[in-house]
Amino acid sequence: MIEVVDIHKRYRGRSVLNGASFTVEKGQITCLIGINGAGKSTILKAIMGLTPLKSGTIRIDGQPMDKNLYESIAFIPDHLTMPPGMKLSEGLRFMQDFYQSWNANRAEELMKFFSLDQTERIGNLSKGTAAKFNLVLGLAQDTEYVLMDEPFSGIDMFSRGLIAEVFSSHLIEDRGVLLTTHEIGEVEHLIDRALLMKDGSICRDFQCEQIRSEEGKSIVDVMREVYQS
């Protein structure tokens, strides 16, 4: 379980995170929803220890973040961070050298699934193809947790379907997944739990099937209540 407890962050005199608290369970897909600039990406970076916090605690399976935990938690940022001059095959090799948790067979399987060409250069990839390769790099690590920042952003509808398919496959099963999005469309029927962010904290935290059966509301209905009032 990833526990985020009362985290605060200020950036350039503005409060970005203002007491956000939540947990991410293993075997569940949790979706962090919020309008642009709500602080979703900052939370992911904070969990990975990539940005300093003013106060608050983050624990992963009870442990504070340290470098060994990078083997059990993968982060897929919203853009590809590999050197553009590398071929895709070299990018995969780079990850293999870097992470013990790298699973080469799974990388192979994902490359086929997304029909990616190993000989292509990373710098020449279109935005959508780069996003797919980014997913390969993150999901091919055998980690307990995966964090994804806007995996659907800027991707055409067919590729979105392909990515959505990954979420319902064994590639995700049993892991704890935390993803961010500002458009719920593709993932509405895929996610277990939704966290709605507003003003730097989590204002709603619910199990999606529960809100449907108990209140007859869709995730979008709840979003409307939160963001239009």
Partner 1 sequence: MKMNEGWTDVTFNGRDPVYLQVVRHFKEQLATGRLEAGQIIPSRRELGAMLKINPNTAQKAYKEMEEQQLIITEGNSPSRITLDDDLLRSIRSELISDAVDAFVVSVRKIDVPVEELLDIVKQKYLESNETERQVQEGGDQA
Residue placing its CB nearer to partner 1 in the complex, 17 or 177: 177
List of residues 6+ apart from 167 with CB closer than 8 A: 29, 177, 187, 190
Q: Which residues bind partner 1 (CB under 8 A)?
A: 27-29, 161, 164-165, 167-170, 173, 188-192, 208-209, 212-213, 216-221
Q: How far is the CB of 166 from partner 1 (least distance, A)?
A: 10
Residue placing its CB nearer to partner 1 in the complex, 100 or 168: 168
- Per the CB < 8 A criterion, the answer to whether 98 and 137 are in contact is no
Residue placing its CB nearer to partner 1 in the complex, 124 or 168: 168
Helix H, strand E, coil C: the string for 62-95 is: CEECCHHHHHCEEEECCCCCCCCCCEHHHHHHHH
Q: How far is the CB of 184 from partner 1 (least distance, A)?
A: 9
By C-alpha distance, which of 76, 72, 59, 49 is closest to 144?
72
Q: How far is the CB of 159 from partner 1 (least distance, A)?
A: 14
Residue placing its CB nearer to partner 1 in the complex, 86 or 211: 211
List of residues 6+ apart from 89 with CB closer than 8 A: 118, 119
Give the Cα separation of 160 and 185 in Å (integer).
10
Residue placing its CB nearer to partner 1 in the complex, 55 or 169: 169
Give the Cα separation of 142 and 213 in Å (integer).
34
Residue placing its CB nearer to partner 1 in the complex, 29 or 130: 29
Q: How far is the CB of 206 from partner 1 (least distance, A)?
A: 13
Q: How far is the CB of 165 from partner 1 (least distance, A)?
A: 6
Q: Are strands 2-11 and 55-60 parallel, antiparallel or unpaired?
A: antiparallel
Q: How far is the CB of 57 from partner 1 (least distance, A)?
A: 28
Neighbouring C-beta atoms of residue 219, cutoff 10 Å: 21
